[in-house]
Homo-oligomer: A and B are copies of this chain.
Amino acid sequence: MDQVAEKKGVCVPTFKDLGEFGFIDRIARHGLVREEGVLCGIGDDCAVFELGEERALLVTADLMVEEVHFRVAGTALEGLGYKLLAVNLSDVAAMGGEPRDAVVSAAIPADFDAEYMERVYNGLHTCASRFGVNVAGGDTTRSPGPLVLNLTLTGEMARDRVRYRSGARPGDLVYVSGTLGDSAAGLKLALGEDVGISEEDRAFLLRRHHRPEPRVALGQALAATGAVTAMIDLSDGAASDLRHVCRQSGVGAVVAADAVPLSPALRAFCEATQTDPLCPALSGGEDYELLFTVDPERVRALKAWEALPAVCPVGRIEAGEARIFLEGVEGGRKVLEGAGFDHFKAGCGEL
């Protein structure tokens, strides 16, 4: 085993250079040790493993790091715990699965108040109760720096219903749930941006940021329709997440600018700040809505399904390179270049 080499004169890429996705590409090359029992390794919302003859086990993990994902001073700690589980639930929702059990690891600064940490766990348990998830075991250790939390969540579902990112085909319709961009605006408000909007709009946007609503029931319902060909949750921003679907399906996509669902609160926020709501809607992270593609011949299955909450079509899948076009801006098509939210680079990618 080599010791860590001194930094040489040659150009060694850092994580900032590679970015999160560049790094994931690099480590994905290692491949799997054994194919047996693995339905999906790296590169989807969850890893998927065989479970008996007909079921699948889902496993997903999400980290939350102080100063990257939150600041202790300005954060409601119950909300932090709630969100830690909610973002993982969103990953299970994106496969169409039923969440099962969570394991939490925490690296905690030695001078951190135990009471603060109990608030984090209270919020976690509030979310766990709502979604019927057990919080079991885990690991706790000291951190010499930031508070770092990791939650690993398992899920379960019928194997033939699992929806992957890789199933989109040319001609499929692209749908999203809810409204987009609210969380990015909520983050700006949480960071103290002074915006002249109503208290109601402010509360809505903050809540969309701090208390994302994982679409667990919706994901299961969509997977059950048989009409959905690919699915992903919106964590990095719709453009970036749609690009993941396109890359893994070997297709392109076009999004209609005027079809992107925007909340009245986001419209008010963007009017007050004189910004384009399509920026947070397409490149803002942490919406935790679902984006999915639908076989156009089976779209009635979707429409007939009355219990589905608000979902709407925003575009379609096309043959070709994994590029996303935005249609209806300045009368034509433009390529969406934004990388979405990447924690190693800038906050919100530009449109």
Binding site for B on A (CB under 8 A): 1-4, 7, 12-18, 20, 23-24, 26-27, 30, 32-34, 37-38, 40-44, 46-47, 49, 51-52, 57, 59-63, 65-69, 72-79, 100-101, 103-119, 121-123, 125, 128-129, 132-146, 148, 150, 152, 154, 210, 343-344
Looking across the interface, which residue of chain B has its beta carbon closest to that of A78? B1
Looking across the interface, which residue of chain B has its beta carbon closest to that of A48? B136
Asked if residues A105 and B150 are in contact (CB atoms below 8 Å), the reply is yes
Looking across the interface, which residue of chain B has its beta carbon closest to that of A64? B141
20 A-B residue pairs with Cβ-Cβ distance under 8 Å, sorted by A, are: A15-B109, A15-B110, A27-B117, A30-B125, A33-B125, A33-B128, A41-B136, A41-B137, A42-B136, A42-B138, A47-B101, A52-B52, A59-B136, A61-B103, A61-B137, A65-B142, A68-B107, A68-B143, A144-B146, A154-B154
Looking across the interface, which residue of chain B has its beta carbon closest to that of A342? B142
Asked if residues B134 and A60 are in contact (CB atoms below 8 Å), the reply is no
Q: What number of copies of this chain does the assembly contain?
A: 2
Residues of B within 8 A of A51 (CB): 51-52
Residues of B within 8 A of A139 (CB): 61-63, 150
CA–CA, A46 and B343, complex, Å:
31
Residues of B within 8 A of A20 (CB): 140-141
CA–CA, A26 and B140, complex, Å:
12
* Distance from A190 Cβ to chain B, minimum over Cβ atoms (Å): 11
Known contacts A32-B134, A76-B1, A79-B1; is-contact A114 B17 (Cβ 8 Å): yes
Known contacts A20-B141, A146-B145, A150-B105; is-contact A57 B57 (Cβ 8 Å): yes
